[in-house]
């Protein structure tokens, strides 16, 4: 073997990245993300902070970090969160330093955020890989929102009224996945993760 | 449903693209490309023109378009080819118009070219998706070249001597796939094709 050949890299280690899934409420991104993280050891959730009360069976630092509204607001002011959202009056936020640290360690950090959150995360982390999860139809969106049974019909109508404007945001994302059939949609997400991990600009070469 | 919702796209048709696989001689790109095209109906070969004599069982316009050296040179001068290569003294060329027409029709046109050809194709078609096929080791490269039995040991040594310079080109590609195990490598290529077909900038939206 020549000296040059000996210097050619023989292994390539992909760096991690932030994987943002967004889309209208009812598109089914939560279920997709759950499946993706369960299927792949290299994909993890970032643990969010929330002001919502801890439920039976939940532990601090596992599903969420449970904080008071005052703690949350203080952290928000310090720029602790990559993005925040209000759901049913409770605050949720993704800790920026945690996400960045996992990415540095080579992990794919999966974020499931609403369309507004998606826009702010992509502004804050332009190197994030973003997927717009698109519902197979407007009727499917309605069925999923009604099927949840967690909201009254006024809330469902309000969400549906937002949907057209939210759907129009698809063009600003890197990828689009139509969530027509769960298994097929998870496979498409998996393909995107695999492809991104094979991107030359993400590879660190070693001899 | 509101008028706005009715206007939201409901189907997305991905456009085709030119899929360039390159890498050093012996990296195994030919076998990879064969498997990919056999596995996927949306991936096709562009039929090359060649001056090499037709072999038993081959038909003009199926494996190759068989042309005389004069015809080939005349076409080359007219800019008919996207790239040309000389192998064992025979000329090979990929017709540009055929590739472009298939891409326009939404197909993934797969090109298997040497490193020099890869560079010129990417210059001519900057929107091509490119993959560098990397051998698992320098020894594996040697074994594949020797195993072919189609070349004398001088030719094998000449190809191996070129390998380090060719391997160094990996950074100029979009993706890198290490061809360590055929099935796994084909899956990685398939993931890249699927991901590229889900790219927002490739999608044509319809209602």
pLDDT band at B181 (very low <50, low <70, confident <90, very high): very high
Q: From the candidates B133, B200, B201, B202, which should be mutated to test the interface with A, based on the most A CB atoms within 10 A?
A: B200
Is A191–B188 a contact, with Cβ atoms under 8 angstroms apart?
Answer: no
How high is the ipTM of this complex?
Answer: 0.89
Give, for B159, the enclosing helix (H) or strand (E). Answer: helix B153-167
By Cβ distance, the residue of B4, B173, B175 closest to A164 is: B4
Q: E strands, chain B, where?
A: 11-14, 17-22, 43-45, 48-50, 64-66, 81-87, 90-95, 108-112, 129-134, 175-178, 203-206
> How far is the alpha carbon of A1 from chain B, nearest alpha carbon, in Å?
8
Task: Answer whether B12 sits within 8 Å of A178, measured CB to CB.
Answer: yes
Among B4, B5, B134, B166, pick the best mutation site for testing chain A contact (most A Cβ within 10 A): B5
3-state secondary structure B89-143: CEEEEEEHHHHHHHHHCCCEEEEECCHHHHHHHHHHCCCCEEEEEECCCHHHHHH
Say how far apart CA A54 and CA B145 lie, in whole Å. 63
Please say whether the beta carbons of A174 and A157 come within 8 A.
Answer: no
Cβ <8 Å between B164 and A198: no
- What pLDDT band is residue B102 in, cutting at 50, 70 and 90? very high
Domains defined for chain A, CATH in brackets: 9-46+103-206 (3.40.50.300)
Residue A87: per-residue pLDDT = 79
Using the predicted structure, report yes or no on whether residue B62 has a pLDDT greater than 90.
no
Query: Any chain A CB within 8 A of the CB of B132?
Result: yes
Quick check: A124 contacting B, CB < 8 Å? no
On whether any CB of chain B is under 8 Å from the CB of A159, the answer is no
Instruction: Answer whether B66 touches A (CB < 8 Å).
Output: no
Higher-pLDDT residue of B7, A168: A168
For residue A110, pLDDT beyond 80: yes
Residue A167 to residue B198, Cβ atoms within 8 A: no
Least confident of A147-151, A162-166, B9-13, B22-26: A147-151
Residues of chain A contacting B135 with CB distance shorter than 8 Å: none
Burial class of residue A110, CB neighbours in 10 A (0-12, 13-18, 19+)? buried
- Residue A178 pLDDT > 60, yes or no? yes
């Amino acid at each position: 073997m020549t000296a040059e050949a000996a210097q050619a890299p023989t292994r390539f280690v992909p760096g991690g990245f932030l994987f943002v899934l967004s889309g209208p409420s009812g598109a089914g991104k939560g279920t997709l993300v759950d499946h993706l993280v369960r299927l792949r050891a290299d994909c993890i959730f970032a643990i969010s902070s929330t002001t919502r009360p801890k439920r039976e069976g939940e532990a601090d630092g596992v599903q969420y970090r449970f904080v008071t509204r005052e703690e949350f607001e203080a952290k928000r002011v310090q720029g602790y969160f990559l993005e925040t959202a209000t759901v049913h009056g409770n605050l949720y936020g993704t800790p920026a330093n945690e996400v960045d640290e996992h990415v540095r360690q080579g992990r794919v950090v999966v974020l499931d955020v609403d369309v507004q959150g998606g826009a702010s995360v992509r502004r804050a982390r332009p190197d994030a890989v973003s997927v717009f999860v698109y519902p197979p139809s407007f009727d499917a969106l309605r069925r999923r929102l009604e099927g949840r049974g967690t909201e009254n019909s006024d809330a469902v109508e309000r969400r549906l009224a937002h949907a057209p404007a939210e759907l129009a945001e698809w063009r600003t994302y890197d990828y689009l996945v139509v969530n027509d059939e769960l298994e097929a949609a998870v496979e498409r997400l998996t393909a995107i993760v695999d492809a991104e991990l094979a991107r030359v600009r993400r590879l660190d070469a070693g001899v």
